[in-house]
Amino acid sequence: MARDVSDPTPVTSRDELVAWSEAGAKVPAQFRIGTEHEKLPFYQADRRPVPYAGRLEQGGIRALLEGMQEELDWEPIVEAGNIIGLYDSFGGAISLEPGGQFELSGAPLASVHETRAETLRHFAALKTVAAPLDIGFLALGMSPKWTRAETPMMPKQRYAIMARYMPKVGAYGLDMMFRTCTVQTNFDYADEADMVTKLRVSLALQPLITALFANSPFADGKLNGYLSMRSEIWRDTDAARTGMLPFAFEPGMGFERYVDYALDVPMYFVKRGDHYHDVAGASFRDLLAGRLAALPGERATLSDWANHLSTIFPEVRLKRYLEMRGADAGPQSFLHALPALCFGLLYDPVALDGAWQIVKGWDAAARQQLRAETPRLGLGAKIAGRSLRDIANDVLALARQGLAKRARRDADGHDETIYLEPLEAVAAGKSQAEDLIHRFKTRWNGSVDPAFSECAF
């Protein structure tokens, strides 16, 4: 999340929370996709992580943000005197994840060509600022070398609250916070029925997304046994706020059902002014009723609700739009491939129906088993007698047809189907992770150090 929402409008009922998500509906002509991607900063001289304040001889994350503010002329986001992010007036933002992962939260855009242009501008500015600081960025889904203890923590109150709470509810929560990177897309819905269809298709296909984007086979300087360790980490982070949302496939699914689910997810914090009150484990229902023990008499606002939704981490998340969250971060071509897949598959009615026909017969147990096996097996995982590789070919063909039908062309006359090519190459051959494992076992001679040059932006 780029920055916490600031809307003091009081909320007094569950129905108002439902109406808030309903109000996110858009007519198809207004559909947009926003792309968020994270990257791990490191000092190029010694491949060490970059702390917020930097080292005596070198600037750190703070200097990087200050430089980007000057380069882009974006507004700073400041907390307790520390610059922790930037935003512009068009919906884009730069934010920090707990371990210093540097995130671009892209603006809502109408084509993949625009997404690519946005990404190129971001990296051009980042290179200008980062090069004098000797800072590079890894294009991987997980830190390949540093231990959790070696990873710095960014000075954000919400992260301190989460770091205290995470070990109570899962084995890998701190690894998720400090050592992983993702690329995700945010996409629109026309009404409740459209939201439900897109949510169900996206949830069912998240293991496929994970397999196509798998790019985190290293941890602590060695192979970790997975193609997507980032995805495996989410399986033991916090069961109350993660997972495949089996209720989304049940009769009666809609905005109300998701609100009821979110109300039962324990809170992390309540923000008042510039202060984050630690209420980890408390119920939003109590805040809604003015009965929150830590803040007696305090009532919920729309800010509280929006910020609470940002601390729920299922494979696909509903706010006033949907967020697809199953992909490892990777090189630039893969940062464009995810929005291309979403544009082609989810915004074309024929493609969306075709995807639903593929997944509608899968039951909850089969979907869950696929989710459990994919981090290790990738496209070799199976469901309903078919491998994910076979399913990938069908899904990518649907997405290609949807993109071709859109016929959005760049200055060179290319339509958006060109952005699916990295995924089609994976489906026909090896994932990024499998390629990295091969390099590690052969010319890298069992070292992850070459990743800092070969897997850097």
pLDDT in tens, 326-367: 999 999 999 999 999 999 999 999 999 999 999 999 999 999
Strand segments (E) across 253-315: 269-272, 275-278, 313-314
Q: Is 343 left (phi over 0), alpha (psi -120 to 50) or beta?
A: alpha
Residue 56: pLDDT band with limits 50, 70, 90: confident
For domain 14-449, say whether CATH 3.30.590.20 is its number: yes
Quick check: 169 and 12 in contact, CB under 8 A? Answer: no
Q: Measure CA 182 to chain center.
A: 5
Amino acid 85: pLDDT: 97
Q: Report which DSSP code applies to 445.
A: T
Cβ of 210: how many Cβ atoms within 10 Å?
Answer: 30
Structure tokens at 42: 């490191």
- Please determine, for residue 110, whether its predicted confidence score (pLDDT) is greater than 80: yes
Q: Measure CA 135 to chain center.
A: 23
pTM higher than the cut 0.95: yes
List CB contacts of 160: < 8 A, sequence separation 6 or more. Answer: 153
Residue 55: pLDDT band with limits 50, 70, 90: confident
One-letter amino acid at 6 equals S
Q: What is the 3-state secondary structure (H, E, C) of 60-91?
A: CHHHHHHHHHHHHCCEEEEECCEEEEEECCCC
Neighbouring-strand partners of residue 277: 270
Residue 2: pLDDT band with limits 50, 70, 90: very low
Structure tokens at 363: 């039951």
pLDDT in tens, 285-319: 999 999 999 999 999 999 999 999 999 999 999 99
Amino acid 5: pLDDT: 61
First to last CA, the chain: 22
Quick check: 237 and 172 in contact, CB under 8 A? Answer: yes
